[in-house]
C-alpha cells in the first residue's frame, strides 16, 4: 500500500491510498473515529455557580472543549501505576474562577502546566451577569471515542474511490456541454482538446456523462485507489492522528494473528 498526502494541515488531511481495498481504508476510518486516545475533562467539582446554567450543563460543555493531547506523557487512568487515584501521569488538573458581568470562555480554564492549555481559547461556556460567579476545578483524563464523543479526535471523515475519467477524442465534438455540467469545474477545453484538471476533485456525480450526447465520456471509481479526508478538533494534528490509528490497527492485527 502507498500513501500520499494530497493536502495536509494541522487540523485537516486529504490522503490518497493506493494498492489497497475499501475494507482496509474503512478499518482505518473506524479506528480514527473510535480508538485514538484523547485528553478530555471527565470530572468537574463546582464550588460556586450562580449563572443561568445548571452545573451539569456547564460540566458537559467543559468536557467537549478540545485539549492538547501528548500521548507520550499520559497513561489511561485505569492502567496507571497510581491505581486510578489521579497522578500527573494520567490526570491533568484545571481551575476556573470568573465573576460577571462577562462571558466565560474556554481560555479561562487554567492548567497546572501551560503545555496543557486549551487548543481554542474562544469557545464560550456561559454568560455571567453582574455579581454572578463560576468557580470550579476540573480533571482531564485519556479516553477513546467509542466511550464518549468528547474523546473523539477526528470528525467530518469520509472516503471515495479515486475518479477515472476517460474521454473518447474521436466522438467528442467539443460542444462544451460537459464543461458546463461539471459542478466542480474540472473539465476544460484547451487548445481544441477536452482536458481534465485536478481530477481528485471529481465527486463521481457523472453529470458530464449525462450532458454528453455523443457518449464520449466515461466516469467510474478505481476501487484500488481511495481518497480519504478528515478533520481533527486540534487535540492531535491530522498527521499524528493517522500515525496513531495505524499503530492501533497494526496492534489489533498482531493480536488477531496470535489468536489464529
Measured CA to CA in angstroms, residue 230 lies from 8, 156, 237, 239 at distances of 10, 5, 11, 11
Per-residue pLDDT tens over the stretch 85-141? 999 999 999 999 999 899 999 999 999 999 999 999 999 999 999 999 999 999 999
Supply the pLDDT for residue 236: 96
Residue 187 has pLDDT above 90, yes or no: yes
Per-residue pLDDT tens over the stretch 133-169? 999 999 999 999 999 999 999 999 999 999 999 999 8
Residue 65 has pLDDT above 90, yes or no: yes
Is 66 in contact with 120 (CB distance < 8 Å)?
A: yes
Q: For domain 2-34+155-229, give the CATH number.
A: 3.30.1360.10
Per-residue pLDDT tens over the stretch 208-242? 999 999 899 999 999 999 999 999 999 999 999 99
Identity of the highest mean pLDDT range in 52-56, 170-174, 214-218: 52-56
DSSP string for residues in 27-43: HHHHHHHHT--EEEEEE
Nearest-angstrom CA–CA distance, 111 and 20: 43
Q: Find the helix or strand (DSSP H, E) in which 4 lies.
A: strand 2-8
Residue 1 has pLDDT above 90, yes or no: no
Q: Is pTM beyond 0.85 here?
A: yes
Is 57 in contact with 102 (CB distance < 8 Å)?
A: no
Residue 77 has pLDDT above 90, yes or no: yes
Residue 207 has pLDDT above 90, yes or no: yes
State the chain's mean pLDDT as an integer.
Answer: 94
Q: How far is CA 164 from the centre of its chain?
A: 27
Residue 191 has pLDDT above 90, yes or no: no
Q: Find the helix or strand (DSSP H, E) in which 102 lies.
A: strand 102-105
Percent of the chain with pLDDT over 70: 100
Domain boundaries, the chain: 2-34+155-229, 38-151
DSSP 8-state class, residue 207? H
Q: How far is CA 95 from the centre of its chain?
A: 27
Supply the pLDDT for residue 190: 87
Supply the pLDDT for residue 100: 86
CATH superfamily of 38-151: DNA-directed RNA polymerase, insert domain (2.170.120.12)
Per-residue pLDDT, averaged over 18-30, amounts to 95
Q: Which residue has the cell 452545573?
A: 55
Amino acid at each position: 500500500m502507498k500513501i500520499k498526502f494530497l493536502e495536509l494541515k494541522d487540523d485537516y488531511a486529504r490522503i490518497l491510498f493506493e494498492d489497497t481495498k475499501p475494507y482496509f481504508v474503512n478499518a482505518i476510518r473506524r479506528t480514527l473515529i473510535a480508538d485514538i486516545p484523547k485528553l478530555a475533562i471527565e470530572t468537574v467539582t463546582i464550588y460556586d455557580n450562580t449563572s443561568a446554567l445548571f452545573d451539569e450543563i456547564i460540566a458537559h460543555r467543559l468536557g467537549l472543549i478540545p485539549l492538547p493531547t501528548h500521548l507520550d506523557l499520559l497513561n489511561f487512568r485505569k492502567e496507571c501505576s497510581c491505581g486510578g487515584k489521579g497522578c500527573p501521569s494520567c490526570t491533568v488538573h484545571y481551575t476556573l474562577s470568573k465573576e460577571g458581568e462577562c462571558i466565560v470562555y474556554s481560555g479561562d480554564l487554567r492548567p497546572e502546566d501551560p503545555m496543557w492549555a486549551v487548543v481554542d481559547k474562544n469557545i464560550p461556556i456561559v454568560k455571567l451577569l453582574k455579581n454572578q460567579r463560576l468557580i470550579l476545578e476540573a480533571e482531564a483524563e485519556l479516553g477513546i471515542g467509542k466511550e464518549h464523543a468528547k474523546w473523539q479526535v477526528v470528525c467530518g471523515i469520509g472516503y471515495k474511490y479515486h475518479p477515472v475519467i476517460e474521454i473518447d477524442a474521436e466522438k467528442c465534438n467539443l460542444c462544451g456541454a460537459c464543461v458546463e455540467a461539471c459542478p466542480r469545474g474540472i473539465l476544460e477545453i484547451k487548445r481544441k482538446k477536452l482536458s481534465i484538471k485536478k481530477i481528485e476533485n471529481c465527486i463521481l456525480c457523472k453529470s458530464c456523462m449525462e450532458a454528453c450526447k455523443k457518449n464520449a465520456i466515461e466516469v467510474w471509481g478505481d476501487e484500488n485507489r481511495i481518497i480519504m479526508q478528515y478533520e481533527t478538533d486540534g487535540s492531535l494534528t491530522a498527521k499524528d492522528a493517522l500515525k496513531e490509528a495505524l499503530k492501533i490497527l497494526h496492534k489489533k492485527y498482531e493480536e488477531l494473528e496470535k489468536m489464529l
